Amino acid sequence: MSDTSDRDIVQGYLQHLLVERGVSPNTLAAYRRDLARYLDYLSHRELSLHSVTQSTIDDFLVALREGSLGQSLSQSSVSRHLASLRGLHRYAEAEGVVAGDPAVSVRPPKLPQRLPDVLSTHDVERLLTTPPLDSAVGLRDRALLEFLYATGARISEVVGLDRDDVIADDGFVVARVLGKGHKERLVPVGSCAYDALNAYLVRARPELAGAGVGTPALFLNTRGRRLSRQSAFGVVRSAARLAAIPGAESVSPHTLRHCFATHMLSGGADIRVVQELLGHASVTTTQIYTHVSADALREVYASSHPRALS
């Protein structure tokens, strides 16, 4: 087998992810961090990728969970580390730089199913109408919130949009969204969201753009540049606080994505349609939103069973 160094193997794998797999910068950065920690673990035990066994990987995962390498990690973080190193070992074997794949039989820790936080339609309405309409920033924030809830798009997808990515055709408006793996999809933009977006484009964006040097970005910050993910998070969190939403500190752009999916399914949308709109590769990912609330169960039971109210 090759005498290629561990760090060269990792660098080759990261380049493979970037060029061949088209992963996002955030995903690539997470893989880089996970694999750096893995290589440090191997180095301290005088091991290399050429000598790793399944037991080595099992011990590494235990160390992550127990915190012996620093802060104790959650099961989801441990699972992400395992995904990173499984991909690395699979790549190393395929490239012929190691003799086998010791990670192939390693099983990730079983994750407890955690339902996403979902706001009621009333709370969402309060959240969306919080930003004032008497300033450029307020108009932008209203448009951003309406757009997130109307499309169910990820925040990285929304801040990555350019003006030309919103297309109106015979009264039907769609956004061309670039999702994970550089997969493009079209998502409808409802009339409320489009009205808010149009108000922003006509009355606010020119003012914000005047502070910059010109950018095609749809959503701008006060310096006339593309709005960042961090700033968009701040917009949502600030609106949740002002609207006095319960658990406001945990409300995020992803909360609106959860609300979009749950409210669509509750309204009778087909799960395959919601899967397509969310950009999920598998319908299994979408199924987490199909859990019906206890109140909804009681209401359906009371209205449907012939002896429920006797």
Q: What is the pLDDT, as a whole number, of residue 214?
A: 87
Closest to 193 (Cα-Cα) out of 156, 255, 144: 144
**Active-site residue among 140, 257, 258, 263?**
257
Q: Is 81 a catalytic residue?
A: no
Q: Report all structural domains of the chain as residue ranges with CATH numbers, in order of start.
A: 6-94 (1.10.150.130), 121-297 (1.10.443.10)
pLDDT of residue 115: 60
User: What pLDDT is attached to residue 291?
Assistant: 65
Question: Residue 140: which residues within 8 A CB-CB, separation 6 or more?
Answer: 200, 204, 205, 208, 219, 220, 227
In the residue annotation, 225 being an active-site residue is answered as no
Q: Which strand (E) or helix (H) includes residue 296?
A: helix 294-304
| pLDDT at 17 (0 to 100) | 92
Q: What is the pLDDT of residue 91?
A: 94
Judge contact between 188 and 173, C-beta under 8 A: yes
Active site residue 183: no
Residue ranges with strand state E in the chain: 166-169, 172-178, 184-188
- Cα dihedral 252→287→82→184 (10° resolution): -70
- Residue 257 is a catalytic residue: yes
Q: What is the pLDDT of residue 171?
A: 73
Side-chain-side CA neighbours of 103 within 13 Å: the count stands at 22
Does residue 167 sit in helix, strand or coil?
strand
> Closest Cα to residue 192, out of 142, 118, 119?
142
C-alpha 181/C-alpha 23 separation (Å) is 5
Q: What is the pLDDT of residues 244-265, one digit of tens each?
A: 998 898 899 999 999 999 999 8
Answering whether pTM is above 0.85, one says no
Provide the residue type at 73 as one letter. L
- Indicate which residue of 37, 154, 226, 258 is catalytic: 154
pLDDT for 243 equals: 96
Number of neighbouring beta carbons within 10 Å of residue 124: 20
Name the active-site residue from 86, 90, 225, 254.
254
HEC profile for 262-281? HHHHHCCCCHHHHHHHHCCC
Report the C-alpha gap between 85 and 103 in whole angstroms: 8
Termini Cα distance of the chain:
76
Cα 41 from Cα 47, distance rounded (Å): 8
Catalytic residue list contains 200: no
Distance CA 172, CA 181 (A): 27
pLDDT on residue 69: 83
Catalytic residue among 289, 291, 298, 305: 289
Amino acid occupying residue 66:
E
- Residue ranges of the chain with per-residue pLDDT less than 50: none
The DSSP call for residue 220 is B
Residue 41 among the catalytic residues:
no
Rg of the chain over Cα atoms, rounded to whole angstroms, equals 23
Q: Of these residues, 80, 180, 185, 225, which one is catalytic?
A: 180
